[in-house]
C-alpha cells in the first residue's frame, strides 16, 4: 500500500514538474526574453575648431553638463590679436575707399564742366579703382567675421545635455583643430539592443511592448517598445561591411541608465 502511495506521489510530482516545465517552455516562446544585450547611446566626439594650448578645463570626468556649458577654453590671445588686426584692416579699407571715391567724383565734376579735360580712359580707370576698393571693404568685413568666429571658438561648449566621458585633458594640453578631445554622452539618445534566437522572432514585431530590467535597478522595470529588428549585426571585431546572422532587436525607452539588463517581450 505504501509503495503504491509513493508511486502515485512520484507520478504526481513528475507530472507537476512536466506541466511546470511545459508552461515555462510555452511562456519562453510566447513571451521571449534574453539577458544578452546592450544599452547604447550616441557619443559626441567634441573637437575644437581652432588650435592652441588649453588654459582652462571647466569640467571633470563623468560630470553631467547642460547644452551650452563650457567644457574647456583655448588660449584666446593669438585670436584676439588677429581680431584687432582685422578691425584695423577694415578701417584702412574704408578710408582708402573714401579717398578713391573723392578722386572719382572730382574727375566726374571736371568732365561735366569740360569733357576734353579728362579722357574717358582715365575716368574708367578711376571708377574701376573705386569699385575695387568697395570689394576690399567686403573682403575685410568677411575677414573680421572670421576673426570673431575664431575667437569665439576658443571656448568649447557642450552641444547637448549629457555626461562627460573619458576626460583626458589638462591645462596646457595642446588642442589641434578638428581633433577630438572630449567624449560627450547624449543623455537623450539611450536605446537598448537585445539579441534573440531566430525561432523567437514570430512573437516579436516592431511596435511590440516590452520590459527592460536593468540589473542595477531590478525593482524598477522600464516599459519599452520594439523599435526595429536588425537584418544583421557586425561581428565583435567591428569590421565594417561584415554581418552575421544573430537577430538584433532595438528598443526605445525613456531610460537614461547604463547597466546590464534583461529583456522580456510582453
C-alpha dist (Å) from residue 30 to 18, 87, 160 = 18, 72, 40
Question: Does residue 223 form part of some domain?
Answer: yes
Distance between alpha carbon 58 and the CA centroid of its chain, in Å? 20
Question: Does residue 107 form part of some domain?
Answer: yes
Question: Does residue 94 form part of some domain?
Answer: yes
Question: Would you give per-residue pLDDT tens digits along the chain (266 residues)?
Answer: 556 666 666 656 666 665 555 555 555 455 677 788 788 889 999 999 999 999 999 999 999 999 999 999 999 999 999 999 999 999 999 999 999 999 888 888 887 877 777 788 878 888 899 999 999 999 999 999 999 999 999 999 999 999 999 898 999 999 999 999 999 999 998 888 888 877 777 778 888 888 888 887 888 888 888 888 877 666 555 455 544 444 445 555 443 333 334 444 45
Structural domain count, the chain: 2
- For residue 98, what are the domain limits? 77-152
Using an 8 Å Cβ cutoff, are 201 and 246 in contact? no
157 CB burial (10 A radius; 0-12, 13-18, 19+): middle
What is the grid cell recorded at 187? 543623455
Question: Does residue 142 form part of some domain?
Answer: yes
What's the CATH number where 118 sits?
A: 1.10.287
The neighbouring-strand residues paired with 56 are 73
| Local structure of 170: helix, strand or coil | coil
What's the CATH number where 244 sits?
A: 2.40.30.170
**Domain-terminating residue out of 152, 174, 201:** 152
CB environment 163-173: b (16+ within 10 A), e (fewer): bbeebeeeeee
Amino acid at each position: 500500500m505504501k509503495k503504491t502511495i509513493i508511486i502515485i506521489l512520484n507520478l504526481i510530482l513528475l507530472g507537476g514538474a512536466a506541466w511546470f516545465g511545459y508552461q515555462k517552455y510555452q511562456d519562453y516562446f510566447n513571451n521571449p526574453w534574453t539577458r544578452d544585450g546592450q544599452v547604447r547611446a550616441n557619443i559626441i566626439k567634441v573637437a575644437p575648431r581652432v588650435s592652441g594650448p588649453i588654459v582652462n578645463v571647466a569640467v571633470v570626468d563623468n560630470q553631467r553638463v547642460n547644452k551650452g556649458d563650457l567644457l574647456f577654453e583655448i588660449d584666446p590671445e593669438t585670436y584676439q590679436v588677429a581680431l584687432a588686426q582685422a578691425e584695423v584692416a577694415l578701417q584702412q579699407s574704408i578710408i582708402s575707399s573714401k579717398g578713391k571715391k573723392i578722386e572719382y567724383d572730382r574727375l566726374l565734376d571736371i568732365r561735366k564742366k569740360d569733357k576734353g579735360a579728362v579722357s574717358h580712359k582715365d575716368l574708367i580707370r578711376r571708377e574701376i579703382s573705386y569699385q575695387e576698393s568697395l570689394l576690399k571693404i567686403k573682403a575685410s568685413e568677411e575677414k573680421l567675421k572670421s576673426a570673431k568666429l575664431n575667437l569665439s571658438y576658443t571656448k568649447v561648449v557642450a552641444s547637448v545635455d549629457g555626461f562627460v566621458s573619458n576626460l583626458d585633458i589638462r591645462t596646457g594640453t595642446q588642442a589641434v583643430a578638428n581633433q577630438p578631445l572630449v567624449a560627450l554622452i547624449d543623455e537623450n539618445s539611450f536605446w537598448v539592443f537585445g539579441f534573440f534566437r531566430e525561432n523567437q522572432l514570430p512573437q516579436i514585431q516592431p511596435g511590440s511592448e516590452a520590459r527592460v530590467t536593468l540589473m542595477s535597478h531590478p525593482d524598477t522595470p522600464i516599459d519599452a517598445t520594439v523599435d526595429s529588428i536588425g537584418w544583421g549585426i557586425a561581428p565583435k571585431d567591428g569590421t565594417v561591411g561584415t554581418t552575421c546572422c544573430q537577430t538584433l532587436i532595438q528598443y526605445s525607452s525613456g531610460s537614461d541608465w547604463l547597466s546590464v539588463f534583461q529583456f522580456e517581450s510582453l
